[in-house]
Structure 1
Amino acid sequence: MAALFGARVRRLRTAAGLTQAELGDRTHVVSTRITQIERASGAKPTLELARALDAALGAEDLLVELWPYVYREAFPDWSRKFMEYAERAGAVRQYAAHVVPGLLQTEDYARAVLSLDALLGSEEQLEERVAARMGRQDRLSSPERPELWVVLDEAVLRRPIGGQAVMRKQLARLLDAAVERHITVQVLPFDQGGHEAMGGSLTILTLPDGSEMAYTEGADYGQLIEEPVNVGRYKVIYDRLRAAALPPVTSLDMIRSTMEDDYRGSNVPSRSERRRLAQEQLQQSGGRRLRGGGRRVPRGRRPGP
């Protein structure tokens, strides 16, 4: 669609007798930006630029109408194919090495994660991706919702993406999600050491017909594995991760502790601080009420001579 958009711009520009530089002047962008659009080689045009091109070329809203289809290609090919399968999966098993999986992200956390993409073209593209990610979460509350099992590396909890307030809400979201019977959350602690999936995240999908596939992903790559032999190997890796992770109840306690200790509000004492204060108060209270040998002395009475 980006190529089609660029071809339309080039055809309309040529028909209008304009050079790329002249069209750039009329739309307030440099000529190289027009070149990128016509060749579909750079960042996708913003809606504002699509409107400017439409007006400058007298396209009668043709380019504006094409623009939403261009942005449906906001995600790379390998990511889109995986998402198509994930939409139909009856069971989703994920290991997340760096960030909370998209299905469980809050909107602010998703925006913070997606904004880290070095190839992100514009704010419009960012919001398009955020909206797409939030829309995919609707399936978790639909009648066709999948069974979701997530193993989070401890690094996911400790890395403050978006700041303390964003992280606190994100961890609270994990705790709320784990209450649902079809969602299980585990944490793989640092003290488990190295493992076979350290290079990136791993997802195992089970489709309604019983077929399975694996998907591995790094910062700027993804690989969909469909050969049964290779999928079986990744299933073994995932099962080992799940076995090494903390049990679900203990995992939730770790998430709660991290939320309260690492991402607490500025005026809220941490769990360890609260424990220390409680212990001090208990000791002070005991010191006032006990005299020699631990014998309790009624308040208001002094021991005799």
Structure 2
Amino acid sequence: MPGPKDLDPSSSPRALLGAELRHAREKSGLSQEELGARLFVSGSFIGQLESGTRRMQPEYARLLDDVLGTEDFFRRNCGVSAKSSYPTHFAEAVEAESRAVSIKQYTPTLIPGLLQSSGYARALFRAYEPTAPKEKVDESVADRIARGRLLDHPTTPMLWTVLDEAALRRKVSSPQVMAEALRHIAALVRRHRIIMQVLPFSAGEVGSLVSGIKLMYFSDSAPFAYVEGVGMGHLTDDPPTVTRHELTFDLVRAGALSPRESLVLIESVAQDYEHGEPHP
């Protein structure tokens, strides 16, 4: 694994906490593994805190202050680094996503957040919270589109997505919204910015047809796997769990159309939406 990268403590509260944690740990003469053992976590977990990949939770801040003799520094400051416009169960995953050098994702029923157009995202948020004020929906849409700007960088992260055909065929809002959403994905493919495959209905029972999978890889820490449900999500770096999700992703990818065939299908379905309803 590459050595830890130097963080600019002024770049964010989390970078400051990470830099201070590394300084306090080294001052105490502890390795990441030794400090992790005292907190009943892995050495890689400590490395993720130091690199800013993982959010520092209050329970770990308290233990770090006790073990490292930093009085209440981490307790006082971890709340600032935890502020986010995203729900608690999703915030850490979004932050990890922003630091990843490579992301692999499969989604079974909907276009994933990083690839959504504004109209598509707005329809989903309105369906999820039908009584929410317009201002709240507007804010959620803005946050989602801001996430997608991660792909404005020409090469990083490398995003490999497998999209179930159901996500193409499920009409969200209107044919016009769906056409725009699929054209947006096709444009990213044609810019060679993402690798996209479609898992067709004809593939049958492959891999994971129940829940989505997101795998995130980093230059200086272990990979994460993230799975979510309604109002909940779980982010883990447990090696056996990550390995199991990697196998599942590989099985799904093996059953998918090639990238070239997938692009043809996406653009064909988009054209159908532009001229009416696509046939299932």
TM-score (norm 2): 0.66
For the 8 Å contact 2:207–2:249, the answer to whether it is kept is no
SS at 1:116 equivalent: helix
Gaps of 5+ in 1: 1-68, 272-305
Q: CA deviation at 1:265?
A: 2.9
Q: CA deviation at 1:75?
A: 2.9
Q: Of 136, 140, 146, which residue of structure 1 is paired with 2:157?
A: 146
Which position in structure 2 is the counterpart of 1:264?
274
Q: Of 87, 91, 107, which residue of structure 1 is paired with 2:102?
A: 91
Q: Work out the CA distance in 2 between the residues paired with 1:143 and 1:106.
A: 19
Q: CA deviation at 1:167?
A: 0.3
Which position in structure 2 is the counterpart of 1:250?
261
Q: Is 1:156 paired with 2:179?
A: no
Q: Work out the CA distance in 2 between the residues paired with 1:119 and 1:195.
A: 34
Instruction: Give matches, 1:1-305, under 5 Å.
Output: 74-118=85-129, 121-142=132-153, 145-261=156-272, 263-265=273-275
For the 8 Å contact 2:89–2:231, the answer to whether it is kept is no
Gaps of 5+ in 2: 1-79
Distance 1:120 1:219, change over 3 A: farther
Residue identity in the other structure for 2:116? Q
Q: How many residues align?
A: 198
SS at 1:113 equivalent: helix
Cα-Cα RMSD: 2.3
Q: Work out the CA distance in 2 between the residues paired with 1:270 and 1:116.
A: 22
SS at 1:214 equivalent: strand
Q: Work out the CA distance in 1 between the residues paired with 2:105 and 2:135.
A: 29
SS at 2:257 equivalent: coil
Q: Work out the CA distance in 2 between the residues paired with 1:143 and 1:165.
A: 28
Instruction: Give the number of the structure whose alpha-carbon radius of gyration is greater.
Output: 1
- Choose between structure 1 and 2 for higher RCO, CA contacts under 8 A separated by at least 6 residues: 2
SS at 1:217 equivalent: strand
Q: CA deviation at 1:118?
A: 3.6
For the 8 Å contact 1:264–1:270, the answer to whether it is kept is no
Q: Work out the CA distance in 2 between the residues paired with 1:211 and 1:144.
A: 21
Which position in structure 1 is the counterpart of 2:18?
none
